[in-house]
Amino acid sequence: MVGEMKAVVRILKDTFSFNDLPISERIAFAAFLVFVFFFPWIVHTAYARAVMIRFLLFAMYGLGWNLIGGYGGQVDLGQAKNVGFGAFATVLMISWWGIPFWITVPVGIIVAVAESFAIAYPMFRLRGHYFAIATLCVALVWQQLFLFWDWTGGARGVELSIRSTPNFTYMQFGAMGYHYFIFALFMAEFLFMNWFRKSKMSYELQAVRDNEDAAASLGINVTWTKVKTYLITAAMGAVGGSFYAVYHLYVDPRCVMQLDLSILIAMTAMVGGAGSVWGPIIGAAMLIPLDMYLGALLGGMGFYGIDFIIYALIIMVIAAREPRGIWGIIERARRRGHVLRG
């Protein structure tokens, strides 16, 4: 009994404690949290609020991807399928049977995890490029299926009826409500990642990423470690999808399961810094405002694509110079500072 209580205390401490991080990071993160929390009070335009919500959603997607892609080192280019599973589970259960949101979320998770488990063992026989393309293919197959199936709405998609807000059964709110909703989800995933990065599994996963044979020599079951991680990533993607469904009130396979979404999720985390807990947040903070402001602005004037041109240039430069992403650049500069200071 005492042992279990000690374990629970330890888990809670790991989840909520940031003491092992340098003070500069802690302060920056606190400032970030304060900014995000008070954002809807400071800024009132609907568009800006939408940008912030989209940023938090992508940061969340990135955190989930970061597990398999960053800590695990397996580039997964099919995360959109998991988002789609979550989104469709939620949207179908609400529109068919009126099931409350919080019950649809575990269902979405179960679907995503079950599918991921079914394909995980064959897929993890592959490495590197082959693995990446295989994940791409699986996601595309699912998108094609969902477009083809009538019972899931086909290409028409599924709509949710608009209800009076605030509605806590179906999670419909005004912009402020959605903001705090996604913020809460984001924090939940972030705290999970805070626990994860200190856990035994994180060490094992990184060991597998860096050197599989060495990891095996230390008692780590390499394939099972990868599979476990892949399942968690799938679950996290599904949660994001469930949010997407009740936020947009419309789900269709072309949007929610599209290849571009998978690529964006992966790229954002990699540019920000895969393998660190800040990376996905930094990556999303770069892409989303770029896309929603520059892209929308110029798109409205008939100039499409400039946001992605800039983003693509950033990706190429980072790939060529610092594959560990922006956070990698920051860390490298910091260590050099330490070495100089002796």
Partner 1 sequence: MFLEVKNLYKEFGGVVANAGVSFGLEKGEIIGLIGPNGAGKTTLFNCIAGYYKPTSGKVFFKDKDITGWPAHRTSRAGIGRTFQIIRMMERLTVEENVMVGAFCRISDREGARRNAQEILELVNLKEKANAYPTELPIATQKRIELARALAIEPELLTLDEIASGLNPLETIQIIDVLRRIHKEKNLTLLLTEHVMEFIMRISERIIVMSAGRKIAEGSPEEVARKEEVIKAYLGEKYAKGK
Partner 2 sequence: MVLAAQIMASGILMGTIFGLIALGLTLIFGVMNIINFAHGEFLMIGMYSVFLISTFLSIEPLLSLPLVAVVGFLLGIISYYLLIRYLLRGPMIAQLFGTFGLMLFLRYLVMFILGPSPRVIQEGVLIGKTVSFSWFTFDLSQLVAAGSSILLFVLVSWMIERTKLGRALRATSIDAEAARYMGIDTEKMNALAWGIGGATAGIAGGLLVNFYYATPTIGMLFVMIAFATVALGGFGSVKGAFAAGLVIGLIMMVAGHYLSQIKLAFVYLAYFLVVVLRPRGLFGW
- Residues found near partner 2 in the complex (CB under 8 A): 73, 75, 122-123, 125-126, 128-130, 132-134, 136-138, 140-141, 144-145, 147-148, 259, 263, 266-267, 270, 274, 302-306, 308-309, 311-316, 319-321, 323
Candidates 140, 16, 142, 135; CA nearest to 68 is 135
Which residue number, 122 or 219, has a Cβ lying nearer to partner 1?
A: 219
Rounded CA gap, 15 and 284, in Å?
A: 23
Amino acid identity of residue 38, one-letter, is F
Which residue number, 205 or 257, has a Cβ lying nearer to partner 1?
A: 205
Rounded CA gap, 334 and 342, in Å?
A: 12
Three-state secondary structure call for residue 250: strand
Q: Is 10 in the site for partner 1 (CB under 8 A)?
A: yes
Site for partner 1 in 186-225 (CB under 8 A): 198-200, 203-204, 206-207, 209-211, 213-222
Tokens of 45: 């335009």
158 binds, among partner 2, partner 1, none (CB under 5 to 8 A by kind): none
118 binds, among partner 2, partner 1, none (CB under 5 to 8 A by kind): none
182 binds, among partner 1, partner 2, none (CB under 5 to 8 A by kind): none
Residue 70 is given by DSSP the state I
Rounded CA gap, 339 and 139, in Å?
A: 45
Determine the size of the site formed for partner 1 (CB under 8 A): 23
Which residue number, 145 or 297, has a Cβ lying nearer to partner 2?
A: 145
For the CB of residue 222, give the shortest distance to partner 1 in the complex, in Å. Answer: 7
207 binds, among partner 2, partner 1, none (CB under 5 to 8 A by kind): partner 1
Rounded CA gap, 103 and 97, in Å?
A: 12
Rounded CA gap, 207 and 187, in Å?
A: 27
Site for partner 1 in 221-250 (CB under 8 A): 221-222
How many Cβ atoms from other residues are within 10 Å of residue 304's Cβ? 12
